[in-house]
Amino acid sequence: MNWGETVRTALEAIRSRRMRSSLTMLGILIGIAAVMLTVGLGQGAQAQVRSQINQLGSNLLIVSPGSTTTTTGIRGGRGSASTLTTRDATALASPVVAPDIARVAPVVTGSQSLTAGSTNWTTTVVGTTPDWLAVRARSMTEGRFFTTAELNDAASVVVLGSTTASQLFVAQDALGQAVNINGTNMTVIGILNTAGSSTTTDDDDQALVPQTTYSSRIASSGNASGISTLYIQANSTDSLSAAYQETQKTLLATHGVTVAASDFTISSQESLLSTATATDQTLTVLLAGIAAISLLVGGIGVMNIMLVSVTERIREIGLRKALGATPRVVRRQFLVEASTLGLVGGVLGIGLGLLGAQVLPHFLNQPVTIPPVAGIGALGVALIIGIAAGVYPASRAARLAPIDALRSE
């Protein structure tokens, strides 16, 4: 009996027990769909976090001030000390000291109320340098970013995020208008392109001013050179780790501390990503594990049904053997039957998974990304489960002695 015949016989056997076959396939179907959806949800969440972090810019290192330790030994959290200064930024920007660093953008932020005419809007005001635009990979829709000259002069100019601009200037063009920040009138010289918002910050709702302007006219405290974050862009992805080393070495030298007592933290996008996705990943693995168990249960269902089927069809097996079926042919028939149950269940499960991937985001507000390889993998897993579940029942059928099988009632 060739393979075509075997497959035909198996399909007929499955068709002739429609109800039972569909219930058996349902187990595999649900398992495969569950695995695909949990993996898809995990992937979707990771992709979302990744895009948020990539949105920061490319080949970025982010330096935050470290924690302080008071004389009584109480440590503050990260950023509790304002140890970074513009001098650090200047040192790092030097191509001699740090050849692998392309650009440095020191950033100092604060929440301020902005007023334009009778409208006011509270947002994050960022004091930085002209390199910010390139480091953070942003672009302008209108106007321009501030220049080095304006930075040196502490000019009263401001660049607005698109949300901020539309909130302050509802029906008119913001460009060239005056905005009052903390008592200082500033001229709007540019509007940033939209970047989209992440869960924690809205990159479209901010106002950027030269760092010198910020420290001299907006900041309340007197620490003129203090900054809250240093964004450092490496020359390329390959020089990222060299840039990391250079940053660390330079900052340790300028701060006069050892590695053990370092008062700053350098994070890369990768380290931010791994921190951000660690929880997601744990959850995904957990859920996928539960889904995999449901798939296993589905596989046990296939095996159970195949065993019942062998017992029920002892006479058929005996007859087929009497008519000339060799043990191998009988084994193959039952294996094909089991793997067909697995495969068809798998195909339907992938269908349900893909459907779920379309429907779920509407309810969860969470993207579901099913990688194509997951579909192929799921199909392979379903087939393997079918075959594995069929091996034992099939070899039992193959081993049946024809006389015993024929004699049974």
Partner 1 sequence: MSTLPFPDESSAPILRLVNVGKMYATGSVEVEALRGVSMEVARGEYVAIMGPSGSGKSTLMHILGCLDVPTSGSYDLAGEDVSTMDEDALAHVRNRQIGFVFQQFNLLASLSAWRNVELPLCYSGVGRAERKKRAVKALERVGLGDRLDHRPGELSGGQQQRVAVARALVTDPALILADEPTGNLDSHSTADVLRLFAELHDQGRTIVLITHEHDVAESAQRTVRIFDGAIATDAQMDSTPASFASAR
Under the rule (CB under 8 A), what is the footprint of partner 1?
A: 1-2, 5, 12-13, 16, 315-316, 318-329, 401-403, 406
Instruction: Give burial (CB, 10 Å; 0-12/13-18/19+) of 84.
Output: buried
Nearest distance, CB of residue 29 and partner 1, angstroms = 25
* Closer CB to partner 1, 2 or 118, in the complex: 2
Nearest distance, CB of residue 302 and partner 1, angstroms = 21
Q: How far apart are CA 252 and CA 262, in angstroms?
A: 7
Supply the angle between the helices 327-364 and 3-16 in degrees, to the nearest 10.
Answer: 60
Nearest distance, CB of residue 321 and partner 1, angstroms = 7
Nearest distance, CB of residue 21 and partner 1, angstroms = 13
Nearest distance, CB of residue 328 and partner 1, angstroms = 7
Q: Would you say how long the chain is, in residues?
A: 409
* Closer CB to partner 1, 252 or 319, in the complex: 319
Q: How far apart are CA 322 and CA 406, in angstroms?
A: 9
* Closer CB to partner 1, 234 or 325, in the complex: 325
Continuous segment of H or E residues that includes residue 321: helix 314-322
* Closer CB to partner 1, 361 or 402, in the complex: 402
What's 215's DSSP letter? I
* Closer CB to partner 1, 8 or 87, in the complex: 8
3-state helix, strand, coil in the chain (%, to 5): 55, 20, 25
Q: How far apart are CA 52 and CA 272, in angstroms?
A: 11
Nearest distance, CB of residue 318 and partner 1, angstroms = 8
* Closer CB to partner 1, 97 or 319, in the complex: 319
Instruction: Give burial (CB, 10 Å; 0-12/13-18/19+) of 211.
Output: buried
Q: How far apart are CA 290 and CA 271, in angstroms?
A: 28
Cα dihedral 127, 128, 130, 134 sign: negative
